[in-house]
Amino acid sequence: MKIAVVSITKHGIALAGRVVAALPGAQLFAPEKFRAEAKAAAPGAANSYAGKVGEQVPALFAAFDGIVAIVSLGAVVRLIAPHLKGKEVDPAVVVVDEAGRFAIPVLSGHLGGANRLAGHLAAVLGAQAVLTTASDARETIGVDLLGRELGWTFEATHDELVRVSAAMVNDEPVALVQEAGSPDWWPNHANGRNGPLPANVTRFAKLEEVDVGRYAAVLWISERAMPASYAAQLAGRCVIYRP
């Protein structure tokens, strides 16, 4: 990820230097009046700007995959609100307080990687990552992220993703059928998972082993086409993954 680290105060810039050091290739952005402090905090990665920080947001959104803002949460919400387009395209935004106690994903926490970025910063700074995305907070399966780190793609409509995700986070019974692909997707999933699979998930080796009427949703990892006999039964409540 290309990361911009933004700070608008003298003390915040000192912390920003630690953040830049923890993120290879990150760039620090600070007001012109703190040019010297920024250069000292992030040698070779410091940028200063004239005018208001809000004027920098469009360029930062366009040029970076993620933004770490050492700015108050409320201010960041107001600054980025006019520029939001959608979770598929908006950059990850994480707010860190000046004391370095909390790393808070504000935007694109799930798909954009802000949750993972916050977790990394929390480890580096000795801070607490404040995750509010249900699948990450509860360390369950993020349906639209399963296998992404392994290059898998998925087939599902928006409505199917919503319905299956709801079944997952609401502890409804979910069948996970893996017929192909690496079995190591769980520790690599989203922000990484260390514990067992969620209790509401039952694993199967073949789709034909599943009594589909017993499950609210099905996650099917396979290289074959959906059998016609199952297509109608699983309509609206299945996500297909292609390794």
Segment holding 21, helix H or strand E: helix 10-22
pLDDT at 188: 73
* Strand, coil or helix: 227: coil
String of DSSP letters for 22-49:
HSTT-EEEEEGGGHHHHHHHSTTSEEEE
For residues 161 and 116, give the distance between their C-alpha atoms in angstroms, rounded to a whole number. 21
Q: What's the average model confidence in pLDDT over 34-40?
A: 97
pLDDT score at 239: 97
The structure tokens 């290309």 sit at 2
* Arithmetic mean of pLDDT, 124-145: 89
- The mean-pLDDT minimum among 17-31, 155-169, 190-204, 205-219 falls in 190-204
CA dist 155 and 170 (Å) reads 22
- Report residue 11 as tokens: 């003390």
Segment 127-143 shows an average pLDDT of 88
Kindly tell me if the per-residue pLDDT of 190 is higher than 80.
no
DSSP-assigned letter for residue 196: P
What's the average model confidence in pLDDT over 115-120? 91
**What are the structural domains of the chain?**
3-132 (3.40.50.11220), 143-242 (no CATH)
- Average pLDDT score, the chain: 94
**Tokens 């994903």 -> residue:** 105
Taking the C-alpha atoms of residue 13 and residue 6, their distance in angstroms, rounded to an integer, is: 8
For residue 147, give the DSSP letter: T
Angle at 223 between CA 222 and CA 225, to 5 degrees: 95
Single pTM value for the model: 0.79
Question: Residue 145: what pLDDT?
Answer: 87
93: which 2 tokens?
């935004």
For residue 176, what are the β-bridge partners? 203, 219
Sort 226 into a burial class: Cβ within 10 Å, 0-12 / 13-18 / 19+: middle
- Residues 48-68 have a mean pLDDT of 97
State the Cα–Cα distance between residues 101 and 125, nearest whole angstrom. Answer: 8
**Which tokens in the block code for residue 121?**
């910063």
Lowest mean pLDDT among 3-12, 33-42, 111-120, 183-192: 183-192
Question: Tokens in use for 71?
Answer: 């700015």
Task: Give pLDDT, residue 92.
Answer: 96
Helix (H) or strand (E) holding 136: helix 134-137
DSSP state of 44: T
- Average pLDDT of span 97-117: 92
CA distance 98 to 104: 12
**pLDDT score recorded for residue 134:** 82
What does the pLDDT read at residue 191? 66
| Dihedral sign computed on CA atoms, order 226, 232, 233, 237 | positive
- pLDDT, position 82: 96
Quote the radius of gyration of the chain (alpha carbons, Å).
21
Confidence of residue 194 (pLDDT cuts 50, 70, 90): confident
Find the mean pLDDT for residues 216-220.
98
Q: What is the mean pLDDT of residues 48-55?
A: 96
